[in-house]
Amino acid sequence: MADGDLSNSVGRAIGLHRAGRLNEAADVYRQVLALQPDHVDANYLFGMLCFQQRELEPALSHVAESVRLAPANATFVTDLGRIQKARGDLIEAIATLERAVDLDPQSAAAWVALGDARNARDSRDAAVDAYRKAIDLAPDLAMAHNNLGVALKALRQFEPAIEAFQRAIALRSEYVDAWLNLVNTIENLEDHAVAMSALNQAVEMAPDSLDIRIRIAYQLFHAERFEESLAQCEMALAQSQQNAELFHVRGLSLQSLGRVGDAVESYLAALAIDDGDPHIHSNLGTALRNAGDVPAAIASFQKALQINPEFEKALFNLGVAQQEIGSFTEAVSSLEAALAIDPEYGEAYRRLAVVYYAMDDGAGAVAVLRRWLERDPDSAVARHLLRAHTEPDSEQRAEDDYIRQEFDAFAESFNRTLERLEYRGPELVAQLLAAELPGEAADLVVLDAGCGTGLCAAVLRGYARRLVGVDLSAGMVKQAQQRNLYDELVVAELLDFMGRSATGFDLILCTDTLVYFGSLTQVMQSFAAALQPSGCLAFTLEELQPGDAEPLRLNAHGRYSHSAAYVAAEVEAAGLELVTMQHQTLRIELNKPVRGLLVLARQAESPGPGDGEPSR
Ligand SMILES: C[S@@+](CC[C@H](N)C(=O)[O-])C[C@H]1O[C@@H](n2cnc3c(N)ncnc32)[C@H](O)[C@@H]1O
């Protein structure tokens, strides 16, 4: 074939290539190269066609050949560097791309490619320099701004990263990757409202982007808007049933809505698409554990750990599940493995102490709590639990910080957990009030003291003209708010609240809260002072074993138990009349019933000066 014929063939191949008829174009390039193996353009173009088809080996050899034949061509050298990067040869790629920018310092494309290779090698600062050069040369190159943002984000420079993504989007509004990067970076700032508004804009720009819908679902999930998150997932499922991440976030939302069986199915659907994500296995394990299938949960956590042995959350979950079935030695080693990876992992110390306690190894538990406190001297939880293990005679009320940390963290899962523990507080209160306050008339002023998430609110509402709840944990109060059953909810320490002259209550209820008080003297006096004449106080407590001689004890789990005699004495010392004291099972813990006291007392004295509407 003559030179002119070869040129024609290359021209034809380029036409086919541009028209997307890649296989035909490849055939023509091959014919040309068979006749003239050192045809520069045919080598370069065929190499790039292979690159386009992710065939990296032929791509590398043909583009390298074009560079050998035309070493001063900056475009060829740049593309060779890109291919080397795609093959993971990062050091070579960086050297090649540095040669490319030397050959043509005005090539923005070469600077971006150099930035990408440096970025991939975690040379973030050098990557930022390269992207900035590209942007100086071509300020409208959206990709340069986006990739600059990626490098800045990796450097944890979130604000400038956000600006870079925003500039990329301003240049190309439907740049889905830039939107996703923007949202991910905003998520790093943990500002859900800003992230949501960026996502809402993004979905307007790119309504068909499944990725953006999934991010929205995640964002709603993190903002604890589970129903809305689920609705986004269902919309996205109408678009595609083949996305593992989508089934994953759907599972998370279902799980948070307490639909454990549906969550399990959703995780299984995710794993049927991609079984390589350890997070999905771990979350499946948690759902299975919640569904009561602990052996299957253990298998899921182990699967997660096969994929990523350093996955400390899966190690923790595994330890919890092993403890649950009495495999204490295994639980200790799982939890220690989690702590070896993350020595700041507070929950792992705590659980480890529980396991030692379950093994009757009090010294082991104390040693773990001391280790925790050494790591985190500000941990009120570690401090409280250490006191619980070492000073059972303490009468001191649990520190406010302990209550806040404990219940803020617990708030979201509290209702589900208590359901699992078969918590009977509301049912017992309903029975007690029905027996002792006949003729429900909804005309009382009622205080729910330590209201938590408001589990007793529905019962109290039936008696209340006005229902006030008070609790130290803002997280718990937020949950209570969602019930829309209280007239007023106050975040405050109970004694402070009562001390601020809260008076005039017809009924005060305090369930499962005096277990954090130790001595009852002050709190009983406060209740007595806050009650109307003939007003009632109802409360529950955990009961000391009848054989125990002491009045109260701080237990290793951090809650107090009180003796019936001590409770009766404190009620009376506060000037209240004990109406009834019942021995009841409050809930089930570690498969054993928790014995408790259900008490009703009445204001016996004549009205004090605080008689009237509650005032604070
Ligand atoms: C186990 S929850 C019980 C919640 C609710 N009464 C129930 O029966 O579901 C205990 C609650 O008491 C609150 N609490 C404990 N000590 C408190 C204190 N000194 N002042 C106010 N709230 C307190 C906690 O924040 C938590 O919400």
Kindly give the distance from the C-alpha atom of residue 411 to the centroid of ligand 1, in angstroms, as a whole number.
Answer: 11
pLDDT of residue 293: 95
Whose tokens are 């791509």? That residue is 59
The bridge status of strand 464-471 relative to strand 531-542 is unpaired
Confirm if 607 and 498 have CB atoms less than 8 A apart: no
Please give the Cα distance from 109 to 529 (Å, whole number): 78
Residue 188 confidence (pLDDT):
74
395: pLDDT strictly greater than 60: yes
Out of 223-232, 337-346, 592-601, pick the least confident: 223-232
Instruction: Indicate if the pLDDT at residue 225 is higher than 90.
Output: no
Q: What is the mean pLDDT of residues 243-265?
A: 95
285 contacts 304 by C-beta, under 8 angstroms: yes
Q: What pLDDT score was predicted for residue 207?
A: 72
* C-alpha distance from residue 365 to each of 350, 359, 391, 569 (Å): 9, 9, 14, 34
Which single residue is written with the structure tokens 């990725």? 211
Which pLDDT band holds residue 612 (cuts at 50, 70, 90)? very low
> How far, in Å, is the centroid of ligand 1 from the Cα of 546?
25
Whose alpha carbon is nearest atom 27 of ligand 1? 452
* Average of per-residue pLDDT values in the chain: 91
User: Cβ(257)–Cβ(266) under 8 Å?
Assistant: no
**Burial degree of 126 (CB within 10 A; 0-12, 13-18, 19+):** middle
pLDDT band at 378 (very low <50, low <70, confident <90, very high): very high
Predicted local distance difference test score (pLDDT) of residue 473 = 97
Q: Is 456 in the pocket of ligand 1 (CB under 6 A)?
A: yes
- At residue 614, the pLDDT reads 43
Tokens 């560079």 -> residue: 67
Dist CA 279 CA 252 (whole Å): 11
- pLDDT band at residue 2, thresholds of 50, 70 and 90? low
pLDDT for 608: 44
Q: Spell out a b/e string for 246-270, using b for 16 or more CB atoms within 10 Å of the CB, else e.
A: bbbbbbbbbbbeebbebbbbbbebb
The 10 Å CB-count burial string (b at 16+, else e) for 78-117 is bbbbbbbbbeebbeebbebbbbbbebbeebbbbbbbbbbb
What are 56-79's pLDDT values in tens digits? Answer: 999 999 999 999 999 999 999 999
**Rounded Cα distance, 278 and 311, in Å:** 8
- Other C-beta atoms within 10 Å of 314: how many? 28
Residue 616 has pLDDT above 70, yes or no: no
Amino acid at 546: P
Measured distance CA(271)–CA(162) in Å, rounded = 33
Whole-number Å distance between alpha carbons of 352 and 331? 8
The amino acid at residue 138 is A
For residues 192 and 160, the answer to whether their CB atoms sit within 8 Å is no
Residue scoring higher pLDDT (87 or 70): 70
- Distance (angstroms) between ligand 1 centre and the Cα of 415 equals 13
Q: What is the pLDDT of residues 555-578, one digit of tens each?
A: 998 999 999 999 999 999 999 999
Average pLDDT over residues 486-500: 95
Cα(253) to centroid of ligand 1, in Å?
27
The average pLDDT across 246-257 equals 95
- 248 compared with 205, residue with greater pLDDT: 248
> What was the pLDDT predicted at 223?
76
C-beta of residue 315 within 8 angstroms of C-beta of residue 334: yes
Instruction: Give per-residue pLDDT as tens, 158-177.
Output: 889 989 998 998 898 878 88
**How many angstroms separate the CA atoms of 95 and 67, rounded?**
14
Q: By CB neighbour count within 10 A (0-12 exposed, 13-18 middle, 19+ buried), where does 54 fall?
A: exposed
pLDDT, average across residues 595-599? 96
Task: Check pLDDT > 60 for residue 606.
Answer: no
Please give the number of the atom of ligand 1 that sits closest to the Cα of 426: 8
The CATH H-level superfamily of 401-603 is Vaccinia Virus protein VP39 (3.40.50.150)
What is the per-residue pLDDT for 42? 94
469 lines ligand 1 (CB under 6 A): no
Residues 6 or more apart in contact with residue 570 via CB below 8 angstroms: 520, 521, 524
Among 73-87, 154-168, 601-615, which is the least confidently predicted range? 601-615
Percent of the chain exceeding pLDDT 70 equals: 96
d(CA 434, CA 428): 10
- d(C-alpha 30, C-alpha 50), whole Å: 12
* Ramachandran class of 274: left when φ > 0, alpha when ψ lies in -120 to 50, beta otherwise: beta
- Residue 174 has a pLDDT of 76
Q: What is the mean pLDDT of residues 514-541?
A: 96
Over residues 23-56, the pLDDT tens digits come to 999 999 999 999 999 999 999 999 999 999 889 9
Overall pTM surpassing 0.75 (yes/no): no
Give whole-number Cα distances, 259 to 106, 245, 290, 415, 534, in Å. 58, 19, 10, 13, 44
Ramachandran angles phi, psi of 490, nearest 5°: -125, 130
State the pLDDT at residue 144: 97
Q: For position 3, what pLDDT does the model report?
A: 63
Instruction: Find out whether 517 and 523 touch, Cβ atoms under 8 Å.
Output: yes
CB of 411 closer than 6 angstroms to any ligand 1 atom: no
Pair of tokens at residue 179: 């939107």
Say what the pLDDT of residue 440 is.
63
Tokens of 442: 């909804």
Residue 351 pLDDT greater than 90, yes or no: yes
Residue located nearest, by CA, to atom 14 of ligand 1: 450
| Residue 407 alpha carbon to ligand 1 centre in Å | 8
- What average pLDDT does the segment 236-260 reach? 93
pLDDT at residue 186 in the model: 78
Q: Ligand 1 test: best mutation among 403, 451, 500, most atoms within 8 Å of CB?
A: 403
Q: How confident is the model at residue 152 (pLDDT cuts 50, 70, 90)?
A: very high
Kindly give the distance from the C-alpha atom of residue 144 to the centroid of ligand 1, in angstroms, as a whole number.
53
Q: Rounded to an integer, what distance in angstroms lies between the CA atom of residue 25 and that of residue 18? A: 9
Residue 486 pLDDT exceeds 50:
yes
Instruction: Tell me how far CA of residue 313 lies from CA of 282, 305, 334, 337, in angstroms.
Output: 8, 10, 10, 10
Return the percent helix, strand and coil in the chain, to nearest 5.
65, 10, 25
When pLDDT is cut at 50, 70 and 90, the band that residue 412 belongs to is: confident
Range in 199-203, 477-481, 535-539, 588-592 with the lowest mean pLDDT:
199-203
